[in-house]
Amino acid sequence: MLEIKCPYCGKRSQNEFSYGGDANIKRPELGKEISDSEWDNFVYFRKNPRGKHSELWHHVAGCRQWFKVSRDTSTHEIFKTSKLNEEL
C-alpha cells in the first residue's frame, strides 16, 4: 500500500485516496469548436508510461481535495506531490 503525502493533510495510506488519472489532460474549453479527434483524444486516449508519471489523486476519505502526484509507475516511488495550482 502506497503512502501518499496529501499537500493539505500530510502522509496518509493509499486506501484514503482514489486515483484520478493523468494530471496533464486539459479539458477543452466549453463552447469551443474543436475537431472530433481532439475531443476523442481528451475523452478516450491516455498515455500509459512506464516510469515517471504526473497524475491526479483525490483525498476522498480525508480533506476531499484533488492534488498532483509525480510517481514512478513501475517502482511506485513518489517523487513529489503538490496542490493543483503549484508546480509539480
Partner 1 sequence: MTQKYRLDKGGFIKRDKKISFKFNGKKYFGYEGDTLASALLANGVHLVGRSFKYHRPRGFIAAGVDEPNAKVQLYHGAKTEPNAVATEVELVEGLIAKSQNCFPSVSFDFGEINNFLSKFFPAGFYYKTFMWPKNFWYKIYEPIIRKAAGLGVAPLKPDPDRYEHKFEYCDVLVVGSGPSGLASALAAAKNGARVIIAEDKSRFGGSLLTDEVTVGNKKGKDWADETIEQLKIMPNVVVKNRSQVFGYYDHNMMVMFERTKDHLEFPNKYTPRQRLWYIRAKEVVASTGSMERPLVFGNNDRPGIMLSSAAKEYLRVYGVLVGKKPIIFTNNDSAYETAIDFKKNGINPIVIDIRENSESSVIKEAKNLKIDIRFSHAIANTRGHLRVNSATIGKLNEQKTNYQSLEDISCDCICVSGNWTPTVHLASQSGNKLKFDENINAFIPNQSRQNETTVGSAKGSFTLKKSLEEGFNKGFELSNKITKKNIKSAIPTSNERSNGKQNKFWCMPLPKNKNYKRCVDFQNDVYVSDIELAIREGFRSIEHVKRYTTLGMATDQGKTSNLNGLQLVSSIEKKIVPEVGHTTFRPPYTPVTIGAIVGREVGKYYRPTRKSPIHAWHEKNNAVFVDAGLWLRPRYYNQGNETLHEASKREAFNVRNNVGICDVTSLGKIDIKGSDSAEFLNRVYTNAWMKLPVGKARYGVMLREDGIVFDDGTTTRISENHFHMTTTTAQAVNVLAHLEYYLQVVWPELNVNVLSTTEQWAGAAVAGPNSRSLLEKLFPDTDVSNEGLPFMGFKEADLFGVPARIFRISFSGELAYEINVESGYGIFMWEKIMEIGKEMGIEPYGTEALSTLRIEMGHVAGSEIDGRTISSDLSLDGMLSKKKDFIGKRSLNRKAFIETGREKIVGVVPLDKKTMIPEGSHIVVDNKASLPNPKLGHISASCWSVEYNNPFSLAILKDGKQRIGEKLYALSPLKSKSIPVEIVSSHYVDPTGERVRS
Residues that bind partner 1 (CB under 8 A): 1-3, 13, 18, 20, 27-28, 30-31, 34, 39, 42-44, 56, 58, 60, 64-66, 75-76, 78, 84-85
Neighbours of 55 (CB within 10 A): 18
Q: What value does the CA radius of gyration of the chain take, rounded to a whole number of Å?
A: 14
Closest approach of Cβ 75 to partner 1, in Å? 7
Question: 9 or 60, CB closer to partner 1?
Answer: 60
| Residue 4 makes contact with Zn ion by CB under 5 A | no
Cα angle for residues 28, 65, 80 (degrees, 5° grid): 85
